[in-house]
């Protein structure tokens, strides 16, 4: 079975992420969306909340599973018996960082390859950070994230008193 990992923090998941998921899932037998628990960042959503949202928006994709992880990506890939890591590229600035990470991962685990997909042009500007900033100022984020995610962002920001 050919299994790939699409890792990220997905805080929150955007249409750009969903674009990469939809385009990479048909390339493999199983696509594992690896939701990173990154202790270096303070996320808007818990890992459990991010996993739940991703499960909801990918439920129609029969070969996609969502799994939380922490630690080294290549260790997670080995644990999941994945042969490939999928990464999305928005701009040349992403490429420099992603190339460095791919080369490091390959040095750590030569059996795991990294595959880059360029984000569709309509999402090339989009990031989770931008979504959170627009939401913070009550901007319309409906073109950036699925409805279920939009609703959860509003709820979360209202709970935390972060909407202006």
**CA 64 – CA 58 distance, rounded (Å):** 7
Residue 90 annotated as binding? yes
Among 50, 128, 150, 156, which one carries the catalytic annotation? 128
Does the annotation count 17 as an active-site position?
Answer: yes
Beta strands in the chain (DSSP E): 3-8, 30-36, 64-69, 84-89, 113-118
Residue 46 annotated as binding? no
State the CB neighbour count (10 A cutoff) for residue 103: 11
Residue 98 annotated as binding? yes
Q: Decide: residue 50, CB within 10 A, 0-12 exposed, 13-18 middle, 19+ buried.
A: buried
Residue 121 annotated as binding? no
Residue 24 annotated as binding? no
Residue 17 annotated as binding? yes
Among 17, 50, 132, 152, which one carries the catalytic annotation? 17
Q: Decide: residue 48, CB within 10 A, 0-12 exposed, 13-18 middle, 19+ buried.
A: exposed
Residue 123 annotated as binding? yes
Question: What residues form DSSP beta bridges with 113?
Answer: 84
Residue 142 annotated as binding? no
Among 23, 78, 90, 106, which one carries the catalytic annotation? 90
Does the annotation count 128 as an active-site position?
Answer: yes
Residue set of the binding site for ATP: 9-10, 17, 88-90, 98, 123-129
Question: Catalytic residue numbers?
Answer: 17, 41, 90, 128
Residue set of the binding site for substrate: 9, 41, 73, 87
Residue set of the binding site: 9-10, 17, 41, 73, 87-90, 98, 123-129
């Amino acid at each position: 079975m050919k299994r790939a990992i699409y890792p990220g923090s997905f805080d929150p998941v955007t249409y750009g992420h969903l674009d990469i998921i939809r385009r990479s899932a048909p390339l493999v037998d199983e696509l594992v969306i690896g939701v990173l628990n990154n202790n270096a960042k303070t996320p808007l959503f818990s890992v459990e909340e991010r996993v739940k949202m991703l499960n909801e928006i990918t439920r129609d994709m029969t070969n996609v599973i969502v799994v939380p992880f922490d630690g080294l990506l290549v260790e997670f890939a080995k644990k999941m018996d994945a042969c490939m890591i999928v990464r999305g590229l928005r701009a040349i600035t992403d490429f420099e960082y992603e190339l460095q990470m791919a080369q490091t991962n390959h040095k750590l685990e030569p059996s795991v390859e990294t595959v880059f997909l360029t984000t569709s042009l309509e999402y090339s500007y989009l990031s989770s950070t931008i979504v959170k900033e627009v939401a913070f100022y009550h901007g319309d984020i409906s073109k950036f994230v699925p409805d279920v995610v939009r609703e959860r962002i509003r709820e979360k920001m209202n709970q935390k008193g972060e909407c202006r």
